[in-house]
Structure 1
């Protein structure tokens, strides 16, 4: 279980991640995952990140459910649920070093996408929801990263901001609940993992509180650059650590 300086650093990362997600709508795993993977085994780190995010998206759904339209998100949810068993299988059997490198590379790539606000034309059609839902769920179930992909899809539909937020939260909630059912089935849920999820909740709450204060005042373009810088730095740090261990 996280303790001492590791816990302090992890709580700060949880706080920063929640501030980022509460301000721009995604990025919690991008910030928290590379930090946790410095202290925890990849399987445990992935599940801890996903556990804390589950609490976050559940709170969003409860607060904003009036904006939810099932008809626009059901296809993504079906795709997401279909991907969960495959993702859990990958997570349970992947080599720890390979998993860390994969997570680092995905974080780095998504950091570049965030930095340059890259658009993906192929996700503009609503029919792409099932494919995007599948790929996102496969990614978050296996490596806890992938939110920007479905966020790009939601924004491409030109929905109002509140609808985007509620739709993404509902999709993630469905995918994460399915993932935890399969994590338990695969024997990946342990006492220390659940305790680590619990002790990071205060950082989540504090970060969301700060986000609610600054979301309307901050320059979104500058903030996006800052988030991308943090994300890319975290990815480089994780990849460097893994490569140095190989030397």
Structure 2
């Protein structure tokens, strides 16, 4: 791998980390298309973004644990465990382009409807954390899209910005450990992975600090609308570049 490629990989990880630290989600949807443009293997890209998300989650939880909705976190985490083996099978059966396009269309439609008709939903009840968590485990272990179902559930719950970011990061920490372990056991780790991760780690730390600062500057009363706009944008990215 050439030095130029390494620099571009680190830059892609920086952008993905900053998006994740700012909004609490989105690093895979941003990072995977960027890495897909570079001459690195798909398994390396998937595992690198998995480790990146896990690192950002760990840093965020250290400072934001008091904002976590712990009963919901427990439900999400248990369901995620059940979904991970399904995802490892899914990655060999369903092409990433099909899954990415389907998720993209869903996100654009969901974000648009939420902006047009904001309000509570029956899907915001605590019990719905189970199917959303299951989907997070399956999509996370297969494509690093574990954030999509949990973000949707978090917006349905209408959490305030601190609860939204704190609970998402706590879930991503739990699911990230499981997903990264599952990726390793599933044979997705490559010889290039840990070298690239080590080189990218300083930029992940810098991006997390910058993203946290940006998050604190987002007005609470506008947070929900901004999140839905970001959801639509990420959905559009998936539709245009699903793999």
1:21 and 1:28 in contact (8 A); partners too: yes
Structure-2 change in CA distance of 1:181 and 1:146 (3 Å):
closer
Inter-partner Cα distance in structure 2 for 1:37 and 1:227: 21
Among 98, 104, 113, the residue aligned to 1:102: 98
Deviation per CA, 1:35-91, whole angstroms, max 9, x where unpaired? Answer: 112333333221111111011111111222233343222111111011111212333
Aligned residue for 1:195? 195
Is it true that 1:22 corresponds to 2:18 in the alignment?
no
> Residue 13 of structure 1 corresponds to which residue in structure 2?
12
Q: Deviations along 1:125-183, whole A, 9 cap, x unmatched?
A: 11000100001121111111241321221232233322222221121111121122222
Structure 2 unmatched ranges of 5 or more: none
1:121 is aligned to 2:125:
no
Q: Which residue matches 1:55?
A: 55
Question: Runs of at least 4 residues of structure 1 off by over 4 A?
Answer: 216-231
Tell me, yes or no, if the aligned pair for 2:20 and 2:53 is still in contact at 8 Å.
no
TM normalised by structure 1 equals 0.79
The change in CA–CA distance for 1:10 and 1:111 in structure 2 (over 3 A counts) is farther
* 8 A Cα contact 1:136 1:146, kept in partner: yes
Change (3 A) 1:10 1:64: same
Q: What residue is the counterpart of 1:232 in the other structure?
A: 236
Deviates more, 1:198-207 or 1:128-137: 198-207
Specify the alignment match of 1:245 in structure 2: none
The answer (yes or no) to whether the contact 2:103–2:235 under 8 Å persists in 1 is yes
Superposition map of 1:143-154 within 5 A: 143-154=143-154
Q: Which whole-Å CA distance do the structure 1 matches of 2:179 and 2:226 have between them?
A: 34
**Structural RMSD (CA):** 3.0
